[in-house]
Structure 1
Amino acid sequence: MAIQTGTKGEFGKNQDSDKVLRFTLGERISHWVHAISFFLLLFTGVGILSLVFRPALAVVGGVEAARILHRINAVVFVVVVGAMFFIGDAKYHWEWLKLVFRLTKADWQHIRAFPKEFFGGHGDYPAQDKFNGGEKINSLLTVFGSIFITLSGVVMWFASSFPPALVRWAYPVHDLSMFLMTAAVIGHMYLGLLHPDSRTALPGMLHGYVSSKFAKKHHEAWYERVKKGME
């Protein structure tokens, strides 16, 4: 981690004020590969599932082409993101996974105050870590949603290798997991793109840096460690 003041950041952009490196290149690659492959899976999957949306699949060559594209993106969704836990910035991926499974008292206080913050206010909660309580819940939905989608997808893809009863269960599990993740993504996009307070976090996923002001306001416990050179 690093704090930069009036120096050049990643890609040579001048930093006009204090900036804190929140996400490394490897973390950002994982995020965007996951996001892009998820939306392609959602688009092709909804078109395959629903006759109402099927005409939209003409942009990828029809339903059969969509089935192939869906499977290709499924492999990308699992393999590329999974590989980032072992190559590149693997350290930060494992730290993220460890953090999101450790919900502290401060996290629970953030979660209780989150509805107020979601609708434009600022909840009363203690200093948060690199990922606050709300982000941890979103991450857990992503982790478990991805696991259930992947396992059920494998069963559906290789249906002849599994008991018929398991195959029948795989379809609703697959669909419900995707609906849950889609709801989480909609909330995530609202906070990242439209919310007047939290949308200032978006630069962190574009070029890695967020303002020190944002870091201190939303992730003060982590920000203080960064200042002290503990990360």
Structure 2
Amino acid sequence: MATTRASTANAAVPEPGDGTATPPVTTPTPTVTHYQQVAAEFMSALDEISQIIPKLEAIHVSTANLVRSRLNVPNEFLATVTAAVEQVPELQAIQKLDVNAAHDTLQFLEAFRPVRDKVDAFAKNLKYTMDSRKAKLATDSLLTYDVAKGLARDPNSATIASLVANMKRDLGRRGRPKTPLALRKTTPAPGIGVPTPRLLPPNEPEGWVPRDDAGPRG
């Protein structure tokens, strides 16, 4: 839990008319947690690393659709077209493709593909780490909530009952996950609650009379 520390304001405070000294004005300053400091250092280092990538572009709505529509063009095709323009003066004359810029782009794509893969893997691992830690805490919290609800039924546990009410308020109704205890209660035993299949009579012609295996009677 983050605590606060007081910092004294540097601004001069006017003294009252009776000559008594006015106590200094203090402003609470939030304390930076350990993880906030680590996250800030990581983001600062990430900003520095981003400067290494030449001409790093930000996503823009005006060009996003065009970029997305060209991603299915194979890199091999791009290299073949570049080589063709490099060899044929007639293709150079139409000035639709800059050979030097094309080679630069192909080299960039080849070099930074493993970088992108590593960054994507890191992003997935970071998200999973956050989700996993939340899931562990959520499981422990739900189990504690279940136990606390049982203790709150005791008339002498008014404090626990008040805390359980706070838990219920913050857990909410919509989308509330089932606690492990509730899941055990609601899970049906094998074979229970499964409807028995009903056998339907065969579709026989009108006037048909069932006969046994002994053959015709009479």
- Scaled to the shorter chain, the TM-score interval is under 0.3
Q: Normalized per residue, which structure has more helix?
A: 1
TM-score (normalised: structure 2): 0.22
RCO (CA 8 Å, sep 6+): is it higher in 1 or 2?
Answer: 1
Larger Rg: 2
TM-score by length of 1: 0.21
